[in-house]
Structure 1
């Protein structure tokens, strides 16, 4: 748990100059440092990192790794202890963000904007739908209307099964921005194949640890298509806290570190009332405190050319 001396940080997966994706911390001043570069300092402090090859790996032992990263950052700020490590800092603007957690075991998404869906009902999503915050979204060849919603991704940091509300709250590691896309066709398709398309679940740009996310239950969500806001919304009055949703679902589902629960806002318009996405549209999804995505749709011909 963070205290007043903890240096706030957020985590992400990045590439630079075509490199393989790697995890890095981003600080308040937009300085970034690769986890791999920070690992020797954590080891010197007796807090060796585990799973440091990815954010997903770090989440497998999250309580320990969060404490280790926090201690290493505090040492980095110390004039003597961090002397040989500060040169590893770089400006985050030189890094290209990827999906913070690209291989979760499980993703569940809240069904909002459906006239026949029960309140706060969730459905599984395919991991193959998860992409990063700057993805090009391929429009399916199947006829139908594609729409997008803004959601908050709740990231699990501890195993959770039949958890109490308090246990579920403790199991939450942090949060990220999610765009949830749906292909609307028949009544049944929208509850199954309509959400299983490739790239239909962009995430990121960053994973924000719970300790630094502020009052997440009051977070504002905005989604704009070609600059026009379609869904300004908030979790307020959702009827169930994020931890309560995790606790309720855990009565039947075993959650693991790195799993993502995508939660929507109260008062979301019916999906049929949302604007249809077309060729070359720009989708901007933002959640206060969690960052913004900028996505582009692509036609089949554009996909082949790319």
Structure 2
């Protein structure tokens, strides 16, 4: 039997409450509208009002949705049920971040070899690094080689209120002088996970999406608390600093997450252009590592790190009016315009 491709997301129409939607051929339908068809096929949906709800019983709901899509594509669904379905063109809906909102967001830092090397050259190894460029590069390459051979992932958390939609504006705080982009592969968990082995880890993935883990570079280090290190709360968690989506692509349609390609454009100019095969620690290893220390829940989001080509490398940081366009092969494209945070206050 042919398995028909589809994606999932969260949508709204004319300011009404968001709903879980299924996207097929540039059209979207509310998932709960598919319930009669799923029941007819013997696979009723659970918690179909939101994508977060669907993820709580992901294996069951994914199977039901796949069977429903296959029936619709093969024209084998009962005619009365098919005729009653109301599809909307994607341009008629507002596209939100796919999961509103994950309970936990984990971010892998320094997880692309070339990115870490270039960031170390541009930013240095700490707040008071006095090495020249050649010394910084040599040290970074040495650290990366040792980390690949013997190291562990570096993971921190980000807060859900940083999430914004794939086409929503990004408000830049007035007191942030170095706002920077970080296009990343997002991994959405579909099963509770604790102490998962990497050989089994991908079975816990519901699907993949696009995220842009924005960072205020000038807020990363605390000169008043040098021994503590990075301050991720103030540098990575302002509202709108995690554009997510447009869609959740089920893992069954992504054969190998380490064979995807990321491209970020700033005002039409390509700034990041790298494959996920440059990750130091792949998706499976990240899940193994995170689940060793904490409990992962369905709907949790893992941001897997960003490749080279950030603003710190170019010494070009985001400004109001800039347009970020981030794409990952097979997952779609997000497009966000940067605005001054004060502009949002003016709209209130």
TM-score normalised per structure 2: 0.81
Q: Classify the secondary structure of the residue corresponding to 1:295.
A: strand
2:51 equivalent among 43, 49, 55: 55
Q: Classify the secondary structure of the residue corresponding to 2:277.
A: coil
Give the greater-gyration-radius structure (CA).
2
Distance 1:64 1:147 in 2: 40
Distance 2:91 2:310 in 1: 37
The 3 A distance-change label for structure 1 pair 96 and 270 is: closer
Q: More deviation in 70-79 or 53-62?
A: 70-79
Give the alignment of 1:272-287 within 5 angstroms.
272-274=312-314, 275-287=316-328
Distance 1:47 1:36 in 2: 13
Give the alignment of 1:1-306 within 5 angstroms.
4-27=1-24, 29-79=25-75, 81-87=77-83, 88=85, 89-112=87-110, 113=116, 114-115=119-120, 116=125, 120-186=153-219, 187-188=221-222, 191-266=232-307, 268-269=308-309, 272-274=312-314, 275-306=316-347
**8 A Cα contact 2:181 2:310, kept in partner:** no
Structure 1: gaps (5+ residues): none
Q: More deviation in 137-146 or 270-279?
A: 270-279
Distance 2:160 2:30 in 1: 25
CA shift digits 1:140-165 (9 cap, x unpaired): 12242100011010110001111111
Higher helix share: 2
Structure 2: gaps (5+ residues): 111-115, 127-142, 148-152, 223-229
Number of residue pairs matched by the alignment:
301
Distance 2:13 2:89 in 1: 12
Q: Classify the secondary structure of the residue corresponding to 1:294.
A: strand
TM-score normalised per structure 1: 0.91
**C-alpha RMSD of matched pairs (Å):** 2.0
